[in-house]
Structure 1
């Protein structure tokens, strides 16, 4: 996190899920950076118990509403902040549809939003059908969707279409690791030569140009600076369309 902030990043995605994330480390880096809180977009997640290890940020016997509040309170403590820019439900607890616990978690997140403690709420690891179901029951609609993005599904094309229609920001993750085979194709090499971009830059610039917010998890200072460099670059419409269809080629 410290490297990312020094490189110029001003948006951080984490989760209160010690199994894969370390919120307290993010908070410590933010405190050391001296960057004013209002200049950093902070997003974290509430994770249902099956996605956690034994280091739970809540009482597993408590109602889901209480679990969300306990997880949120500890996130604020870890991150050293009094509010969050975005709180994301880390994923529905079932593969199809929404379970009662998912709806309860969303209602608890809506309450945090009502209280001004969270500026936006969203959902991750969600199918198109689940997203449409959530939109149907939500009092506060999702501001963000965060999904693993595969070229083989048209870069999650159906879900992105719903997001576009509803004004929901789409955050794509694993753009590189989920698409290693497709990104080694000669087409990408040709675009790299024409554009003067690295493979990673081509992918992130493509994501931006199709309306996606690309997430990067690199720990390399050089890659961080290269990733930010895509904001000043552009791909041709032809190249964007070719990458959109790359899995079919």
Structure 2
């Protein structure tokens, strides 16, 4: 059954990190970002995903929402999992970037991280003390050599202000190359990809990730999968467990193992409902163990997952 938190792979340098299985996604929230992040934290989310990419994210407003929640006593920074991204030049708006285009790849990464730390600054008895639980590369760079160069630049911030490093929009050969590279000291802790049929639901990549203690973060989980929402496994779980079809799909995806889900709802009622996933599924799976296992097995067959 889905667990509320997942441990990230230890790197021997930073304290162990626990990632909630439900992560609030902040893409395309624009001027509503601060209010929505505050609302999500108030509803109970304890993980936030964003990016240093003004083209699609307002990382500065994510910081505002987090600071307000901390100031209002809703949450403490140490209880949060905050994840942001370094976005290469090709993914940026050339007129609105967190670093100068002319910089080397190494300097781009460093400038991007510094801009993120400024956005995530917060105040406690010790003063400003920003840190990032996981820095995710928004996408691989043009070559594996450039990707490794950027990765090594990110490693210079570990352990003081970055605790883990991951990558998004990443095919299996690149993930394997990063994991096996002798130049890289901090192994990938996270891979964040679209979970959808065009990539066969990343079956092979997720197997590799599980075997190597890499957490798979699923995004576009609802938007890209109308056929899964309508599937017998999802519909039956929703009906039998008394949950929405969205929560049922999230539960079955998380049940695949070492998986977290990005949830970008803007509806406060849906936020609260989605966060009840663990307790409701725990209750259902314990009371109806065989039914739960049958539904999970049916879902795995549907997406081609190994039994």
Q: TM-score range by the shorter chain?
A: over 0.9
Partners of 1:19 and 1:50 in 2: CA distance: 11
1:11-160 map, 5 Å: 11-34=47-70, 35-53=75-93, 54-81=95-122, 82-94=130-142, 98-113=143-158, 115-137=159-181, 138-151=184-197, 153-160=199-206
Q: 1:132 offset after TM fit, Å?
A: 0.4
- Structure 1 contact 46–89 (Cα < 8 Å) conserved: yes
Residues matched between the structures, number: 244
Q: Note the alpha carbon deviations across 1:33-67, whole angstroms, 9 max, x for none.
A: 12321111110000001101121100110111110
- In structure 2, the CA distance between the partners of 1:244 and 1:151, relative to structure 1 (3 Å rule), is farther
Q: Note the alpha carbon deviations across 1:203-244, whole angstroms, 9 max, x for none.
A: 111122112111111111111111111111225111112122
Partners of 1:241 and 1:154 in 2: CA distance: 17
Partners of 2:217 and 2:43 in 1: CA distance: 21
Partners of 2:48 and 2:231 in 1: CA distance: 31
Give the corresponding residue for 2:7: none
More deviation, 51-60/154-163: 154-163
Where is the helix percentage greater, Structure 1 or Structure 2? 1
RMSD: 1.6
Partners of 1:179 and 1:46 in 2: CA distance: 27
Which of 249, 270, 295 pairs up with 1:223?
Answer: 270
Partners of 2:237 and 2:190 in 1: CA distance: 30
1:129-208 map, 5 Å: 129-137=173-181, 138-151=184-197, 153-208=199-254
- In structure 2, the CA distance between the partners of 1:207 and 1:216, relative to structure 1 (3 Å rule), is same
Where is the strand percentage greater, Structure 1 or Structure 2? 2
TM-score by length of 2: 0.76
Give the corresponding residue for 2:9: none
Partners of 1:90 and 1:144 in 2: CA distance: 12
State the secondary structure of the residue aligned to 1:215.
Answer: strand
Which segments of structure 1 move beyond 4 Å, counting only runs of 4 or more?
Answer: 151-154
Q: Relative contact order, CA 8 A, sep 6+: which one is greater? A: 2
- Structure 1 contact 206–243 (Cα < 8 Å) conserved: yes
Partners of 2:60 and 2:199 in 1: CA distance: 35
Structure 2's unaligned 5+ residue stretches are: 1-36, 123-129, 286-291
Q: Note the alpha carbon deviations across 1:120-164, whole angstroms, 9 max, x for none.
A: 000111111110011111221011111111146553111111111
State the secondary structure of the residue aligned to 2:277.
Answer: helix
Give the corresponding residue for 2:38: 2
- Structure 1 contact 151–182 (Cα < 8 Å) conserved: no
Structure 1's unaligned 5+ residue stretches are: none
Q: 1:174 offset after TM fit, Å?
A: 0.8
